[in-house]
Amino acid sequence: MEEKVFNITLKPITEADKAEFIEKIQESFGLALKEQFSVADKIPSQQELNDAFNASENETWCILNGTQKVGGAVIRLNPQTHHNALELFFIYAGRHGGGLGLAAWKAIEKRYPQTKIWETVTPYFEKRNIHFYVNKCGFQMVEFCTPHHLSSEERYNHSHKPPIPGTEEFFRFQKIMTIR
C-alpha cells in the first residue's frame, strides 16, 4: 500500500482565521456527538475557544496541507518542565482516515522538539480518537476521569449544566518522548 505524502505546515492563527477555526472545530467535534448521542450542540463553546485563544501559555495553529487549511491545534506549553499539552486538535470533517491527522501530529512534534511529555484528553466514547492517539501516535492511557474521579490536574469541565452527553467522562493520555 502506497503511503500518502502530505506537505503539512503550521501557521499561527490570525484574527482573520478565528471564525473559520471555530466553525470547523465545532463541525468536526460535533460529528461524533451527533452520531453517538443525536445531540447537535456546538462544542467546544465559543467561550472555551476564546479562553484557549487568549491563554498566555497557549499557541494556536492552523494546519495546512500545501496552501489548503485542513485543521487546527491549540498547544499548551510549559517552558519550565517541557510537559506540553495538546489542548485541541482537529482535522476538518470529511478529511478523516487518510493519514492527514498523523502527518499533522508529526508536524506538531517536530515543531516542539524540547517536549518531554505530551498530554491530551478525549471523551470516553470517541473510539476514533482513542485509536488515533494510542495506535497511531504512541500515546498511552493514564487515567479515566469521571465526575467521581477528576483528573489529577482537575481538568474536568464543570461548565456544562446539564453536561453535554459524553463530555462528563474522558480518558487522559500521555506520550513520553525519547531523547533525540
pTM: 0.87
pLDDT for position 151: 55
pLDDT for position 112: 97
Mean pLDDT for each 10-residue chunk of the chain (180 residues)? 82 95 93 80 88 95 96 97 96 86 97 97 91 97 81 46 66 88
Q: For cell 485509536, what's the residue?
A: 131
The grid coordinates of residue 50 equal 476564546
pLDDT for position 51: 93
pLDDT for position 85: 97
Q: What is the CATH number of domain 8-176?
A: 3.40.630.30
pLDDT for position 162: 47
pLDDT for position 17: 95
Rounded Cα–Cα distance for residues 51 and 43 (Å): 13
Rounded Cα–Cα distance for residues 159 and 118 (Å): 25
Could you state, in order of their start, the residue ranges of all structural domains in the chain? 8-176
pLDDT for position 90: 95
List beta partners, residue 59.
75
